[in-house]
Amino acid sequence: MKRMKQIFTASTLTLALCAGTAALAVEPEYKEVAVEVADASPTLEDFVGQAKLPDLFIGSKAPQLAIAKFIKGESVGDFEKGQVYVVEFWATWCGPCVAAFPHLSELQAEHGEAVRFIGVNVWEGEENQTKRIEKIESFVADQGDRMSYTVAVEDGTAMADNWMTPAAQNGIPAAFIVDGNGVVAWIGHPGGIEEPLADVVAGNFDPSAAVEEAKSNMLISAAFQKLGMAFQTGEGIDDARQIADILINEYLSEEPAGLNAIAWMITTSEAEGVGEAEYKVAHRAIAIACEKTEWKDWSLLDTYALAAFKTGNKTEAIKWQTKALELAPAENKNAIEELEGRLAEYQE
């Protein structure tokens, strides 16, 4: 745990005492005394370190486009002043990328000329540039209106090398918003681009707040990695418990999915050293998540029942597992089977 030094000024009063006479006070002598005070509130940084920002980030000047061929839509050279762009990276083999095409098309239609969407093919695995272009042309033609925006093939690996790598983006789909000044305003999954894009177009985007949010997300990601390792190996369980507490209190109190992830990770751990203290943390996390969803999300109720069972409350476990079964979609046979299995375990 961190310790910090608190400096304060203390006065020392020197008294001259003479036998048989009254004490004589002299002028007080002031000096600085350093006292160590324990910091009772460790932060996430104490456990995972400071968030290290990548070389290409929010506020960076956007790299130049390096395109071998524009397959669909108007070609784009330099980023024009006053024009907002979305540069989105995808590959034919990437299922989530293909699933995102209609959403990007809808956003392009919504924003019209205010935003230029450019879908750039990367990491295709085709070394021959000519064959790669032919492959992408055929693929894009098959997509039809699902890709109603500009589509391009990168020049060699230039776009991946100059955009994805320095931005520490290791997966696709990934999207970059470039504002009217040619500056990167946002980086992330295209599924979450709608709100920040609207803010950038309206001129309401706060880059400082975006940077802080990104730092926070990095810390949360690093924290979850620590939790995953601890509850898998059993090493650092005490730290993991504190990390979980900080996440619950300061980062995820309004995020049911994140709270559920913590609780499930703990309650399903088979690592040595995981016990009552950790199960209580899990129970608290999932209880908050259930409150936020008004106790109507069957998947959260399933986790709550398991946490109740782990903390020794079989009655609560049976009650809420039964409720989870009532709310679970009947067509999800696998989920129903798992829920019934856990309910039987609690009833035993």
Query: Tens digits of per-residue pLDDT, 91-103?
Result: 999 999 999 999 9
Q: Are strands 24-25 and 3-12 parallel, antiparallel or unpaired?
A: unpaired
Higher-pLDDT residue of 8 and 159 is 159
Question: Are both 120 and 201 inside the same structural domain?
Answer: yes
Question: Are both 119 and 202 inside the same structural domain?
Answer: yes
Question: Are both 103 and 196 inside the same structural domain?
Answer: yes
Question: Are both 94 and 181 inside the same structural domain?
Answer: yes
Number of domains composing the chain: 3
pLDDT for res 250: 95
Kindly state whether residue 224 falls inside one of the protein's structural domains. no
Q: For residue 40, what are the domain limits?
A: 3-46
Q: Residue 173, by phi and psi: left (phi above 0), alpha (psi -120 to 50) or beta?
A: beta
Q: Stretch 174-189: mean pLDDT, rounded?
A: 96
Kindly state whether residue 215 falls inside one of the protein's structural domains. no
Question: Are both 130 and 189 inside the same structural domain?
Answer: yes
> Which residue matches tokens 């450019």?
118
Kindly state whether residue 256 falls inside one of the protein's structural domains. yes
d(CA 288, CA 280): 12
Kindly state whether residue 318 falls inside one of the protein's structural domains. yes
Give the model confidence (pLDDT) of 61-77 as tens digits: 999 999 999 999 999 99
Residue 238 in this model has a pLDDT that exceeds 70:
yes
What is the CATH number for 311?
1.25.40.10
d(CA 295, CA 249): 20
Beta bridge partners of 67: 154
Under the banding of pLDDT at 50, 70 and 90, the label for residue 317 is very high
Question: Are both 81 and 190 inside the same structural domain?
Answer: yes
Q: How far is CA 317 from each of CA 64, 131, 166, 308, 343, rounded to the nearest angstrom?
A: 57, 58, 48, 5, 8
Question: Are both 201 and 73 inside the same structural domain?
Answer: yes
Kindly state whether residue 216 falls inside one of the protein's structural domains. no
Give the model confidence (pLDDT) of 6-51 as tens digits: 222 222 222 222 333 333 333 334 344 444 444 568 999 999 998 8
Which of 157, 178, 210 delimits the end of a domain?
210
DSSP 79: P
Kindly state whether residue 218 falls inside one of the protein's structural domains. no
Question: Are both 82 and 185 inside the same structural domain?
Answer: yes
What is the CATH number for 190?
3.40.30.10
Give the model confidence (pLDDT) of 87-146 as tens digits: 999 999 999 999 999 999 999 999 999 999 999 999 999 889 999 999 999 999 999 999
Kindly state whether residue 204 falls inside one of the protein's structural domains. yes
pTM listed for this prediction: 0.67
Percent of the chain whose predicted confidence (pLDDT) is above 70: 89
Question: Are both 237 and 326 inside the same structural domain?
Answer: yes
Question: Are both 163 and 196 inside the same structural domain?
Answer: yes
Percent of the chain whose predicted confidence (pLDDT) is above 90: 82
185 burial via Cβ count (<10 Å: 0-12, 13-18, 19+): buried
Question: Are both 79 and 37 inside the same structural domain?
Answer: no
Question: Are both 284 and 328 inside the same structural domain?
Answer: yes
Beta bridge partners of 186: 177
Kindly state whether residue 56 falls inside one of the protein's structural domains. no
Start-to-end CA span in the chain (Å): 43
